[in-house]
Each structure stands twice: as structure tokens, then as C-alpha cells.
Amino acid sequence: METTFGDVWREVLTTQPEPEQWIIIGAAVLALAAVLLNPVWRVARNVVTIAHEGGHALVALLSGRQLTAIRLHSDTSGVTVSRGKPTGIGMILTVFAGYVASSVIGLLGIVVLMTDHITALLWLSLVVLAAMLLMIRNLYGVLSVVATGAVVFGISWFTPTEVQAAFAYLFIWFLLFAGVRPVFELQRQRIRQPSPHSDADQLARLTGLPGTLWVVVFALVNLAVTGLGVWMLLLN
């Protein structure tokens, strides 16, 4: 039978039952392992880079800046280029957004999951990835976003509800947990190879506050958001 757009739309908006608690906890354990285990982290960190640069891009647009390019690199670094006033609150918020984006997106995903709109969450992720793809300006970045989108689409289109739910919780847990480790990696990099181009050091120039203080702020925000997310899903 032919599938119409209306059928797809209804499927996306339909609520799905919350998975059993052991699946939610199991997904959390797997997500935490993906953050802590270096071989897995080296691959999974590409998703964090997408979230990081997406955070820069979104806040740049919301603050009235003109977004010109996003680049993602194979070493899991990235850069987002925007035009506008080089100082001021808009620029500060744009630079600040990157290192807190993953955890904040994870928390927002938890809010959606708590409404039981699991398929809608996956398709919303696809919409965001598609919008971001329009601004990618290098081949590796295109491949990274397309590969991530292909995985999300494949799960949402070809698998039963139970698998979608398990994947959605794994995906959101990972984004929530994965915001913390890059902050510590940032500080190690600042100690070993100081660079004026890191987000913390850019914020130091924009605000006059030490870069290390901004690293601490990144860590505190992400730890607080992660704690709130864990409480919402497991302890509430």
C-alpha cells in the first residue's frame, strides 16, 4: 500500500509508550561508556562537534549575526563563521554556546521524550541536521552530518517502536553526558598548546575575564544540566 505524506505526518506526531525502566537505565550506561571509552569516544565525538558548531550557529542567528559557514574536521574540531559586530553580548553568547550545546540539547531532548513523542524527536533531529547541512562548507563536514542523519533516519523509518525508543534514549543520554568531557579536554589543550582561538580564550578577550574561569563556567553549566537530566529521567 502506498504511503502518503499524511501517513508519515501522523506517524511522526503519534505518541509512543515509554520503554521499560531497565531500557532507559541501560541506554544511560551505554551512553556513559561511549563517553568514557576512548576508542568509542574518538568516533562518537563527531556527534558532539556537530552539536557544538550547531550551538554556535543557532545563537549567532538568534543574536542577529549573519551565518556564513560551518566546517567540521576529521580531528573532531570545527569552526563556525558568522558576520556581525565583533564585540558585545551577541558575540559573547555565540562563542559561549558551543561548549554547552551538547548538554543543553540533551536536556531539551529529555523534555520531548517525557511527552512520549519519540519518533517526533528523531525527525526533529533530522530537520536540524538538514538545516545545518546547508551551511557546511567542507567535504568531511558534509559526510559527517549525512552519516549521522542516515543513522537517525534508518532507525526512525525501518525499525519498530521499541528500537526507536531505545535508540532515542541512547542518543539523548549521550548528548547529555558528552558535554562534560570536551570541557576537560579543552583545559588540557590550553595547558599543553595554548591558543588564542579557543572558545575560552576568545571569551577572555571579549569580557576581560580569565579563560580558565570560562572553562570552569562551561564545566559547571554542563554538570548542572547533566544532573538535572538524570533527575528528570531516573529520579523524578
Confidence at residue 11, expressed as pLDDT on a 0 to 100 scale: 64
Give the Cα separation of 185 and 98 in Å (integer).
Answer: 14
Confidence at residue 195, expressed as pLDDT on a 0 to 100 scale: 84
Confidence at residue 68, expressed as pLDDT on a 0 to 100 scale: 95
Confidence at residue 9, expressed as pLDDT on a 0 to 100 scale: 62
Give the Cα separation of 107 and 102 in Å (integer).
Answer: 9
Cβ atoms of 107 and 176 closer than 8 Å: yes
Q: pLDDT tens, 176-214?
A: 999 999 999 999 999 998 888 899 999 999 999 999 999
Confidence at residue 188, expressed as pLDDT on a 0 to 100 scale: 95
Cβ atoms of 200 and 184 closer than 8 Å: no
Cell 532507559 appears where? Answer: 24
Q: Which residues of 206-223 are buried (b: 16+ CB within 10 A; e: fewer)?
A: beeeebeebbebbbebbe
Q: With a cut of 50, which residues of the chain have pLDDT below it?
A: 1
Q: For residue 146, give the C-alpha cell.
A: 549525512
Confidence at residue 112, expressed as pLDDT on a 0 to 100 scale: 94
- The CA radius of gyration of the chain, in Å to the nearest whole number, is 18
